Structures are given as structure tokens and as C-alpha cells.
Amino acid sequence: MRMWMVPPRYLCNKHLLGEHVELHMFAGSINKGISLDGYVANGLVDTSLMNRRHDELVEEMTARGMVHKSPLQEFIDPHVGTVDSSNSIEELKKRCPRCRERILNDIIS
């Protein structure tokens, strides 16, 4: 699970939908009292940005013609974590040819 925290337009459909699902999983984990310490230590989550990030992802999903029917469940924000979006961009470029293409096309434009 991770929050990429890059402009949603950079994400291929797989990563866009994946981050969306993972936000729901983070919220569920928080509500169940499951520790996010490992995710926090590795810079994979910023709980203070989860609601805003969910809205950004939904906006991009809708722009791509996807239907969204799952509001982010309420959770008590423990206010932990940070995500370095520059590192996320480099990781996406290494991992995913579709994201790399979207990132490079946006930078060139």
C-alpha cells in the first residue's frame, strides 16, 4: 500500500485505481487500530492528505470516464507520515512504462 502523491494525470489506469483502493485500505487500517508505522517509516503514507488525495484521484477517474461510487470512509486522522513525490515520480518511471510515458509526455508538453 502507498500514496504516490504525484499529479493524478501521471498515473496509468492501474496505478490510479490502485492508489484509490489503497487509500480505502489505509482508512480501514486506521479504523481497525492497525499500525501504519512501516508505511510511515518508508515514506509511503501521509494521513493528513488522504481525504484531499482521494478527491484528486476521483476527479481524474471521472475525467477518464470511470464511475466512482465509494466515498472514503471516515477515520480519525493520526496525522502521521510524509510522501516525497519526487521519489514517487522516479519510482513510477522505473516500474511502469505507461506511467513513464504519461510523465514524460506531460513534462515535454
Q: What is the 3-state secondary structure (H, E, C) of 43-100?
A: CCCCHHHHHHHHHHHHHHHHHCCCCCCCCCCCCCCCCCCCCCHHHHHHHHHHHCHHHH
Residue 3 lies in a domain: no
Residue 2 lies in a domain: no
Say what the pLDDT of residue 109 is.
62
Residue 56 lies in a domain: yes
User: What residues have CB less than 8 Å from 74, skipping those under 6 apart?
Assistant: 27
Per-residue pLDDT of the chain (109 residues; tens, 9 = 90+): 999 999 999 999 999 999 999 999 999 999 999 999 999 999 999 999 999 999 999 999 999 999 999 999 999 999 999 999 999 999 999 999 999 999 999 877 6
Residue 73 lies in a domain: yes
Residue 1 lies in a domain: no
Say what the pLDDT of residue 105 is.
92
Residue 50 lies in a domain: yes
Cβ of 31: how many Cβ atoms within 10 Å? 12
Number of structural domains in the chain: 1
67: Cα within 13 Å, side-chain hemisphere? 1
Residue 37 lies in a domain: yes
pTM for the full predicted model: 0.94
Range of the domain at 70: 8-108
